[in-house]
Structure 1
């Protein structure tokens, strides 16, 4: 089976969403929740957040599975104190018309995209990048999201395409500098794409190893922190972390 490889920054996890990974997805969701909302926090305060986070992560991974995506990429580690509000779906489309000229198909996509479409090369192959602003009501957010899709042809396998779609949540300003910074990071990840003759979806052991490493980093950071996460002088719990869902 044909697939492609991507180089991920530190602090990211790739969650498989193929049909045989339902149990693994649930385990990963459990680990992600413990990562953002550890058991050491007051249960009565973080309980509602845990339920919301579980619902959103489960819906995101299940929706990716329904769409035929092979995996979802999520940034879990905070950068400069902020959790990046986005995710990427990774899909390989096979069974297309081997006689169809990829340049013609890309030209059609580019024409439909108008000014939001860009022709470029990814992994040494022709590709098109399409940016758009999408409604977020499906995930119960009022603010719109910035979405970018890459359509990447496979130069050695006619009829095979890579589809990478990332969505960045916003507070309403889809052109804000932080949003553009997250989009740029996703663009940089896509730029590392290389086609391969093997499926590059991580195994259960690899995913759990990634999460264990992130947990160690988070634990070390928590131990060294003496700021807002520390208990108050009277022994009461310090303030809870920022909303892990980045809600507005």
Structure 2
């Protein structure tokens, strides 16, 4: 395979129409949140009393704003969220796109430097310290070296996460720029249990989605 002489300027994912992108560095995240909340309530019958809907709507908006704030604090690039309900089940899922911090190595003189070789970075991600129930594997995404990491994260009530969640992260080396890694982080609570059938199905869906990932050049 011919190595690229320049790095890509973006990426593409073939997301279903019921998912929306929330821009975190450019654009208007607040507008996207309002659109998601509005879409989520469009299927509710008109005869449902407003006094019952308003608290639910406000709570959904609060949770989305908190999720966006956390993602922006982590310097994420974009967030993807489902904009309406699936049947009677709220998907309770998200995808956050960001750039990874490079791991470091310390030489015999005690000097710490960033690891710039993608293969060495992937090796550290695969073989480094991790929880016993974390599944890590390596492969390729659109011709680039990639590492897939899956785990179950415990509840974090202080951050508004009352339930445990299933997490799948894809770390993809950026062609032509060994110092950068693209990260797509998927999270779902399933139907309330991160290991239930819905969570399994959504993880399979996310893995299938990542097969549609393509780099784009200007």
Q: What is the TM-score of this pair, normalised by structure 1?
A: 0.70
Rounded to whole Å, the distance in 1 between the matches of 2:16 and 2:191 is: 25
Query: Is 1:57–2:64 an aligned residue pair?
Result: yes
Query: Is 1:102–2:109 an aligned residue pair?
Result: no
- Is the CA contact 1:144–1:170 (under 8 Å) kept in the aligned structure 2? no
C-alpha displacement at 1:49, in angstroms? Answer: 0.7
Query: Is 1:3–2:7 an aligned residue pair?
Result: no
The residue aligned with 2:76 is 69
- Is the CA contact 1:98–1:158 (under 8 Å) kept in the aligned structure 2? no
Match of 2:154 among 135, 159, 164: 135
Rounded to whole Å, the distance in 2 between the matches of 1:95 and 1:130 is: 16
Mapping 1:19-168, distance limit 5 Å: 20-21=26-27, 24-38=28-42, 40=46, 41-93=48-100, 100-112=116-128, 113=130, 116-138=135-157, 139-168=159-188
CA RMSD in angstroms, aligned pairs only: 2.6
Rounded to whole Å, the distance in 2 between the matches of 1:195 and 1:98 is: 24
Q: What is the TM-score of this pair, normalised by structure 2?
A: 0.79
Rounded to whole Å, the distance in 1 between the matches of 2:58 and 2:201 is: 29
Structure 1, unaligned runs of 5 or more? 199-248
Query: After the TM superposition, which parts of structure 1 deviate over 6 Å for at least 4 consecutive aligned residues?
Result: 94-99
- Is the CA contact 2:9–2:217 (under 8 Å) kept in the aligned structure 1? yes
- Is the CA contact 2:172–2:182 (under 8 Å) kept in the aligned structure 1? yes
Helix, strand or coil: the match of 2:37? helix
Helix, strand or coil: the match of 1:52? helix
- Answer 1 or 2: which has greater strand percent: 2
Higher mean C-alpha deviation, range 168-177 or range 120-129: 168-177
Rounded to whole Å, the distance in 2 between the matches of 1:136 and 1:28 is: 26
Structure 1 residues 62 and 196, CA gap change in structure 2 (3 angstroms): same
C-alpha displacement at 1:51, in angstroms? Answer: 1.4
Rounded to whole Å, the distance in 2 between the matches of 1:117 and 1:187 is: 14
Helix, strand or coil: the match of 1:100? coil
- Is the CA contact 1:76–1:83 (under 8 Å) kept in the aligned structure 2? no
The one-character-per-residue Cα deviations of 1:81-115 (angstroms, maximum 9, x if unpaired) are 43322000011358998972101111101012476
- Is the CA contact 2:22–2:33 (under 8 Å) kept in the aligned structure 1? no
Structure 1 residues 160 and 197, CA gap change in structure 2 (3 angstroms): farther
- Is the CA contact 2:139–2:146 (under 8 Å) kept in the aligned structure 1? yes
Helix, strand or coil: the match of 2:126? helix
Total equivalences in the alignment: 195
